[in-house]
A and B are shown apart, each in its own frame.
Chain A
Amino acid sequence: MTDARPLADRAALARIARRRRGEAAFRTASMAAVVAAVAMLGWLLVTLVGSGATAFYQHVITLDVALDPSKLDPTGARDPAELQKASFRPILQSAIYGRFPEATGRDERRELFALISVAGATDRLRRMVRDDPALVGTTVRITAPVSDVVDQLLKGRIDRKVDATLRPVSDRQIAWIDALRASGEIKARFNATFFTATDSRDPELAGIASAVVGSAMALAVALMLAAPIGIAAALYLEEFAPKNRITDIIEININNLAAVPSIVFGLLGLAVFLSFFGLPRSAPLVGGFVLALMTLPTIIIAARSALAAVPPSIAAAALSVGASPVQAVFHHKLPLAAPGILTGVIIGMARALGETAPLLMIGMVAFVTEIPSSLTEPASALPVQIFLWSDSPERAWAERASAAILVLLIVLGAMNAAAIFLRQRLEKRW
Chain B
Amino acid sequence: MVNDTALKLDVGRKFSEAAAVGGAVIDLAAAKAEEKAKFVCRGVRVHYGAKEALHGVDMDVPDAGVTALIGPSGCGKSTFLRVFNRMNDTIPGARVSGSVLMDGADIYAKGVDPVLLRARVGMVFQKPNPFPKSIYENVAYGPRIHGLAASRGELDAIVEGSLKKAALWEEVKDRLKEPGTGLSGGQQQRLVIARAIAVRPEVILMDEPASALDPIATARLEELIDELRKNYCIIIVTHSMAQAARVSQKTAFFHLGDLVEFGDTRAIFTNPKDQRTQDYITGRTG
Q: Spell out A's residues near B (CB within 8 Å).
A: 1-8, 12-13, 15-16, 19-20
Contact = CB atoms under 8 A, between A and B. Distances in A.
A16 B101 contact: no
B22 interface: no
A7 B112 contact: yes
Contacts of A6: 105
Contacts of B101: 1, 4
A1 B103 CA distance: 8
Contacts of B120: 7
B147 interface: yes
Contacts of B116: 7-8, 12-13, 16
B203 interface: no
Interface string B112-125: 11011101100000
B143 to A, nearest CB: 12
B107 interface: yes
Contacts of A8: 113, 116
Nearest to A4: B104
Contacts, number: 36
B146 interface: yes
A359 B44 CA distance: 69
A6 B105 CA distance: 7
Contacts of A16: 113, 115-116
A107 B147 CA distance: 83
A12 B104 CA distance: 19
Given A15-B146, A15-B147, A5 B117 contact: no
Contacts of A3: 103-104
24 contacts: A1-B101, A1-B104, A2-B104, A4-B101, A4-B104, A4-B105, A5-B103, A5-B104, A6-B105, A7-B102, A7-B105, A7-B112, A7-B116, A8-B113, A8-B116, A12-B116, A12-B119, A15-B146, A15-B147, A16-B113, A16-B115, A16-B116, A19-B145, A20-B113
Contacts of B112: 7
- Do most interface residues of chain A lie in helix, strand or loop, or is the interface mixed? loop
Interface residues of B, number: 17
Contacts of B146: 12, 15
Nearest to A14: B147
Interface of B: 40, 101-105, 107, 112-113, 115-117, 119-120, 145-147
Contacts of B145: 19
Interface SS of chain B: helix, strand, loop or mixed? mixed
A45 B159 CA distance: 55
A12 to B, nearest CB: 6
A237 to B, nearest CB: 34
A1 B145 CA distance: 31
Contacts of A2: 104
Nearest to A5: B103
Contact of A5 (B40, B105, B115, B119): B105
A19 B116 CA distance: 11
A140 to B, nearest CB: 75
A313 B115 CA distance: 48
B115 A4 contact: no
Nearest to B111: A7
Most chain-B Cβ atoms within 10 A of its Cβ — which of A2, A4, A6, A7?
A7
B230 to A, nearest CB: 22
List 9 tightest A-B contacts by C-beta distance, closest first.
A4-B104, A1-B104, A8-B116, A4-B105, A15-B147, A5-B103, A16-B113, A16-B116, A7-B116
A16 B115 CA distance: 8
A229 to B, nearest CB: 43
A416 B113 CA distance: 46
Nearest to B145: A19
A7 B105 CA distance: 7
B247 to A, nearest CB: 28
A214 to B, nearest CB: 52
Nearest to A15: B147
Contacts of A4: 101, 103-105
Given A3-B103, A7-B113, 5 more contacts: A3-B104, A4-B103, A5-B105, A6-B105, A7-B120
A277 B57 CA distance: 82
Interface centre among B102, B112, B120, B147 (most CB of A within 10 A): B147
Nearest to A3: B104
A107 to B, nearest CB: 76
Nearest to A6: B105
Nearest to B107: A7
A20 B116 CA distance: 11
A7 B115 CA distance: 11
A4 B112 CA distance: 14
A7 B110 CA distance: 12
Contacts of A20: 113
Nearest to B36: A3
A74 to B, nearest CB: 89
Nearest to B102: A7
A125 B119 CA distance: 88
Contacts of B107: 7
Nearest to B115: A16
Contacts of A12: 116, 119, 146
A7 B101 CA distance: 11
A19 B114 CA distance: 13
Contacts of A7: 102, 105, 107, 112-113, 116-117, 120
B108 to A, nearest CB: 11
A12 B276 CA distance: 45
B62 to A, nearest CB: 16
A330 B155 CA distance: 66
A19 B102 CA distance: 23
Contacts of A19: 115, 145
A19 B112 CA distance: 15
A101 B54 CA distance: 97
A13 B115 CA distance: 11
A119 B269 CA distance: 104
Contacts of A15: 146-147
Contacts of A5: 103-105
A3 B105 CA distance: 9
Contacts of B113: 7-8, 16, 20
A5 B103 CA distance: 7
A7 B107 CA distance: 8
B111 to A, nearest CB: 9
B110 to A, nearest CB: 12
